[in-house]
Amino acid sequence: MNRRIIYLIFFLSSILISLLYLYNRFSVATENTQSVDLEPVNDRDLTVGIIGDSWVADGHIAGTLQLALKTIGRNSTIFYSGQGGARTKEVYRNLFASKKDVFSSAFIKQKQVKYCVVCCGVNDSFGQYGKSYYAKNMCLIIKELLKYNIKPVIIELPTYGVDQLQEQLHFHNKIKNEIFAFFNSDSGVDNIKEYRAALVEELKKQLLRDKIIFVDYDVICSDYSKCPEYYSDYLHLTTQGNYWLCDEIAKSIDSDWN
């Protein structure tokens, strides 16, 4: 075979693989329209699910939230499922994963909990996946929970050490992040405000804002640099940080439950 033809095939194959990678990386999840009929749960017990990323996976939020609810006189049963490093797209897909999948959160829907706390987005933000990617996947999660009469409790995209994490990246990952930020963000690598605004806009657009409980993260920590004691590293919460987050979640649920 002619060497030029081999080079051309290699070149075209490389472009195709790159395009497939970019599509898979930045495409929003496809909405699952499947409906499941379940017998309604008539009990008045306060049941709460928690789904999300590594903030949920270690179980600290679940235990702390249960204690926070008990402190204000609310006995509750908590169920949780988290996947370290998960983006909103994966959190959405986990709601449909089979029981064999260790990250499946489908059981949250089957139990028809009264509330479900959704805690994710930092991996979308730091990975520079784009505000539309984040906002639309979050709305898919919300709509899926609403199908089961589960009220979503949405934690606003948290503040975290964006700049500090960026500096810790290896050189090629740092450049990759900056390139993705150039194309996906109007505000550069630190895109937190931009992503927050995009979610609020998408919630209004899809008429979902009045169907959820929205936890304002700025009440907990409006600026990462001003509350370092809340973070064990640039991304994850300490025991104290978990306490204040769960205290705010508990107050929001308690206000709605009354």
pLDDT of residue 133: 96
Buried b (16+ CB within 10 A) or exposed e, 35-60: eeeeeeeeeeebbbbbbbbbbbbeeb
CA torsion angle 67 68 74 78 (round to 10): -60
pLDDT of residue 209: 96
pLDDT of residue 37: 59
pLDDT of residue 31: 75
CB within 8 Å of 18: residues ≥ 6 apart: none
Amino acid at 147: K
Q: Give the residue from 180, 177, 182, 181 showing the smallest Cα distance to 166.
A: 177
The full length of the chain comes to 258
CA distance 14 to 153: 43
pLDDT of residue 206: 97
Q: Give the residue from 146, 169, 170 showing the smallest Cα distance to 95.
A: 146
For 80, the enclosing helix (H) or strand (E) is: strand 76-82
CA distances from 184 to 17, 67, 157, 227 (A): 21, 40, 17, 28
pLDDT of residue 126: 94
CA torsion angle 120 218 195 200 (round to 10): 100
CB 136 within 8 A of CB 28: yes
Contacts 24+ apart (CB under 8 A), 222-228: 222/159, 223/159, 224/159, 224/160, 224/161, 224/162
Q: Give pLDDT tens digits along the chain (258 positions).
A: 566 565 555 555 666 666 665 556 667 777 777 766 565 665 678 999 999 999 999 999 999 999 999 999 999 999 999 999 999 999 999 999 999 999 999 999 999 999 999 999 999 999 999 999 999 999 999 999 999 999 999 999 999 999 999 999 998 899 998 998 998 888 889 999 999 999 999 999 999 999 999 999 999 999 999 999 999 999 999 999 999 999 999 999 999 997
The whole-model pTM stands at 0.89
CB within 8 Å of 132: residues ≥ 6 apart: 28, 198
CB 52 within 8 A of CB 108: no
Q: Give the residue from 211, 208, 219 showing the smallest Cα distance to 250.
A: 219
pLDDT of residue 114: 96
